[in-house]
Structure 1
Amino acid sequence: MTAAAAMAVASVDPQGRILAVDDGVGGKRRGALWGRRKRTKEMAIAISQEAFDAMVRENMEDLGMDPDEALADAVEALTLQGADISGIIKRVPGEAAAAEVSPVVRVLDELKASPGARGGSGEDLGRLVSLLDELRGLCCSGVGSENAAVAVRNGGVETLVALCVSAQIEQEKLLASGLKALSSMIRDIGSTEKFRQSEGPKIVMDILKGGSENSDLLDAGFSVVAAASAGNEVVKESFMDLKVDELILHLMREKLKTNVQSLYEAVRVLLTPDDCRVVASQVYGYSRKFAEIGIAEVLINALRGQVPPSSLPSACAALKAIAVNDEICRSISENGGIDVLLQCIDEAGEQKNKVTAKSCCSLLSKLGASDTNKSVILQRGGLEKSLKLTSTFSEDASIIQEAMSLVTVLTLRSPDNAARAMEVGYGTLAIQAMQRFPSSGQTQKQACLMIRNLVVRNPENRTILLNDGAEKLIRKAKVTHASCKDAATAAVRDLGLDNYNA
């Protein structure tokens, strides 16, 4: 059987056998964007609950299987055929109703049967909120992924979008619960497409504009923006057409001290080219637009202490997503971004906050890609502060990787910076990291990359590192970790050794 694209619909005969596949992805696409669409791999065929039940029934009636065997055989056969059975309720037809088998279906059935948000009594609205919170809990539980798939397959996205449309903006608790439940079930391209086709972007934007005084509602709304935009270029485009960037700028200026963490996450997702169906993403242009209207500057102010500590990593990730070219990176530095980050790195070390430390180092590496910023970082003591961080988190390979990544960026095409890095102690750090974390392929690879930049234009550094045992460590990493092969080979070559391919 040939698998078709995501969202395809399988035609089946009365016995549940797949006869043909209708590729339902195409539809009407907007503008030139989908002219650049590509199919990177075959996607699973979506099969209906009715077709699945029919196959189980056929196994029992025509092939004489007992119920458990018939069910297991149907699951195995469809999986081997490339069918998407996520969200399918694995039941024996006739033994139990879907609502009895799945609590998700039961909750959805009750939501669909409810009187709705308009005209309902206080008790009715309270019941709706309870059902929405229960649905969210089910989709966020240990089996949340499967529950979310069941919800989407049984009309959950459309039901919740319709509920949000029917609610008054003053019904903030109800709307917040509805949006939180919606964000918990949007997890893949199928669910984001259902959200888009239900006019979800416009509905959510209207709620965000009308409920901008309620932090809980804003947090829930931007959680939906982030979830729905992930992996879907058309949804990102829809939100940008609705001027989500201007709304974000307004809210950031007005709500800096309010903990709306999902707002930063929404920025990061909107500016991430993560839709494998398109050849050229438009998010690079979105990043420049975010910078042009002043969002980068507002984010710098947020990092100065106006954002709650719990949201600081998300704010760093958002600013990193905006910093897509040299001009923007220099602008962030000119507005004090590097000074703020170095201060945050110091504080993260003092507070033993690994998440903040990693986020700040990662953003600093992005800004350091600008040659102008390289000098600023060194002048502000960036090398020393980063090295101090590795001492504080000496047993955390991920922090050491971020520090070495930063130095790799700062020493690129800069022999003066490489000399300074060796003087501070990064040659020793590379050797120690490779000795301490031999099983971490990423640590070994990052050490090799940093060593290359430390020696490629600084022959005096080669002798130091070779005397410290760099060759043996690099060759061992090359043999042990396939991911290190290229970096290790180049490091041995740049150390001046002839047999670098050995």
Structure 2
Amino acid sequence: MSSKHISQETFDAAVRENIEEFEMGPEEAVREAMEQFESQGVDLSNIVKTVPKVSANGPQEPEHDVLQALNALREAMTHSSQGQKVLMPLAQFRDQCQQHKPNRFLAAQKGAYPVLLAAWQLATADDPALLLQVLDALSALTDGQPDLLDAHGLQLLVDTLAQGSGTPDLACAALRLVRHVCLKHEQNRQALVKAGVLPLLTGAITQHGHCADVVREACGALRIMTFDDDIRVPFGQAHTHAKMIVQEHQGLKLLVKAAQAFPDNPGVLSEVCSTLSRLAVRNEFCQEIVDLGGLDVLVALLDSDTSHQDLVKQVLSALRAIAGNDDVKDAIVRAGGAESIVATMTRHLASAQVCEQSCAALCALALRKPENSRVIVEGGGALATLEAMKAHPKEVGVQKQACMLIRNLVARAQVYSQPILDLGAEALILQARAAHRDCEDVAKAALRDLGCRVELCELWTGQKGGLVL
């Protein structure tokens, strides 16, 4: 990965030099500058790769479109205290930020966040149109730049959510902003939770439960709170936040009800299932999902023969998560879940992601459960798994999960070893082992439990040799 960086001004100067001194056209000048810097190992991911233009009403010095939009917004804020005069500049700035990440990065460098914060303070509950535009613009600006949020902005965000009487559009914009400022930012997550954001997120589902967009955005915001994706922090609070959502704010009950309220909306159902997966972090939570009727919803979705592969993937992920509870494993099998998963994998055999999640879910059901292994094998699960391996030989996720599933199927039910071998399992496992380094250990385990010959070498015994200083 490139480690060198340059400023936007440096890149623009190189482009201008190509145009003025080497008489290149704009596109050729940009392309030549890109090639020049990339050959030097410069990372251009945050650089706007267009030629600056002179604004019709702005300064004579050429500027990029996003900076022209920012200047227009700044000008409107300076000369008007009326929200209506700021609406159009806000919308134009938002549109520029939504186009490309470099636009957002450059705008942030040039002080866009304080300008939007001032516009946020200008907006009131009596001017929902302005508030909506501000939230949309901030959401666009902070996408991929969560560090921009400061203590003042955090409090304004919590206050905006706490008003609770806004329109669904306002709720969506605020929830989207929560998601953007919390992604890969543990400090913002913890600060928002401390400020009381969790009941506001679940409250949005309660208040706007009829609105699919709000439910979808609220699920995304809740799920972000359970992430542990900030590499700058050694230990996050993902597990604690998940427990708080479930135990203190009835998160599972709200989500299962939301799934039942939107049976024909794949977008909402996908978000709900994905969020359930993130909250199923304890045995009792897995059981609670079953008790609330969530298992019936998940199995019914698999049986619905839906063509929405993302929804199918999230349903399988949710089943895999709740199968972490041994009692729930049995409940899933009794509900016909194993057969439904096999049928789903067969139906979506062309999708590597569905095959991977199907194998992972079946793997969880078969772990330490020989009776469940019987149901899976007799239901065609082993055959479907091997077909998935054949269909996706280059997908390491499919190969790895398939090897783990085969191992779990026979580990405590050796009677199925020969039937699975007769289907050609050994050759496929050896192929996976040879093609993917990550499959080495799981492939050996599968071959060993199938009764195949496999060399299990000790990497180091601690003998024959001493340390040389």
Q: Which TM class, normalised by the smaller chain length? A: 0.7 to 0.9
Rate the CA distance shift 1:403–1:88 in 2: closer, same or farther, 3 A: closer
Query: 1:194, 1:110 → 2: CA distance?
Result: 21
| Partner amino acid, structure 2, of 1:145 | K
| Partner amino acid, structure 2, of 1:202 | Q
Aligned to 1:195: 149
Match of 2:211 among 242, 255, 258: 258
Aligned to 2:46: 86
Q: Is the 8 A contact 2:287 2:325 kept in 1?
A: yes
1:171 aligns with 2:113: no
| Partner amino acid, structure 2, of 1:237 | Q
1:224 Cα deviation after fit: 0.5
Worse-superposed segment, 170-179 or 378-387: 170-179
1:485 Cα deviation after fit: 2.6
Matched residue count: 446
Deviation per CA, 1:114-167: give whole Å up to 9, x if none: 136973174x1xxx33333333322333xx112121222222222222211211
Worse-superposed segment, 319-328 or 451-460: 319-328
Segments of 5+ residues of structure 1 without an aligned counterpart are 1-41
1:288 Cα deviation after fit: 0.4
| Partner amino acid, structure 1, of 2:98 | C
Query: 1:85, 1:427 → 2: CA distance?
Result: 45
Mapping of residues 49-128 of structure 1, within 5 Å:
52=10, 86-87=46-47, 100-115=62-77, 119-120=81-82, 122=84, 124=85, 128=86
1:346 aligns with 2:298: no
Structure scoring higher RCO (CA < 8 A, sep ≥ 6) equals 1
Segments of 5+ residues of structure 2 without an aligned counterpart are 458-469
1:468 aligns with 2:405: no
TM-score between both structures, scaled by the size of structure 1? 0.80
Query: 1:406, 1:316 → 2: CA distance?
Result: 14
1:436 Cα deviation after fit: 2.2
1:458 aligns with 2:420: no
Query: 1:118, 1:320 → 2: CA distance?
Result: 48
Rate the CA distance shift 1:145–1:129 in 2: closer, same or farther, 3 A: same
| Partner amino acid, structure 1, of 2:95 | G
Q: Is the 8 A contact 1:47 1:85 kept in 2?
A: no
Aligned to 2:92: 134
Rate the CA distance shift 1:355–1:117 in 2: closer, same or farther, 3 A: farther
Aligned to 2:357: 402
Deviation per CA, 1:318-354: give whole Å up to 9, x if none: 222222121221222222221121122223x2x3222
Deviation per CA, 1:397-446: give whole Å up to 9, x if none: 32222211110001111112112211111111112112222232322222
Identity of aligned residues (%): 25
Runs ≥4 residues deviating over 4 A = 42-50, 53-57, 65-85, 87-94, 96-99
TM-score between both structures, scaled by the size of structure 2? 0.85
Mapping of residues 87-486 of structure 1, within 5 Å:
87=47, 100-115=62-77, 119-120=81-82, 122=84, 124=85, 128-141=86-99, 144-188=100-144, 191-196=145-150, 199-210=152-163, 212-259=165-212, 260=214, 261-293=216-248, 294-306=250-262, 308-347=265-304, 349=305, 351-486=306-441
1:74 Cα deviation after fit: 10
Rate the CA distance shift 1:116–1:422 in 2: closer, same or farther, 3 A: farther
1:241 Cα deviation after fit: 1.3
Rate the CA distance shift 1:87–1:212 in 2: closer, same or farther, 3 A: farther
SS where residue 498 of structure 1 aligns? coil
SS where residue 62 of structure 2 aligns? helix
Q: Is the 8 A contact 2:396 2:439 kept in 1?
A: yes
Rate the CA distance shift 1:428–1:90 in 2: closer, same or farther, 3 A: closer
| Partner amino acid, structure 2, of 1:239 | L
In angstroms, what is the RMSD of aligned CA positions? 3.3
| Partner amino acid, structure 1, of 2:337 | G
SS where residue 236 of structure 1 aligns? helix
Query: 1:100, 1:495 → 2: CA distance?
Result: 70
1:236 Cα deviation after fit: 0.3
Worse-superposed segment, 453-462 or 210-219: 210-219
Query: 1:386, 1:362 → 2: CA distance?
Result: 11
Rate the CA distance shift 1:448–1:74 in 2: closer, same or farther, 3 A: closer
Q: Is the 8 A contact 1:211 1:217 kept in 2?
A: no
Worse-superposed segment, 412-421 or 205-214: 205-214
1:80 Cα deviation after fit: 5.0
Rate the CA distance shift 1:430–1:220 in 2: closer, same or farther, 3 A: same
Query: 2:346, 2:244 → 1: CA distance?
Result: 39
1:371 Cα deviation after fit: 0.7
Query: 1:117, 1:229 → 2: CA distance?
Result: 34
| Partner amino acid, structure 2, of 1:429 | A
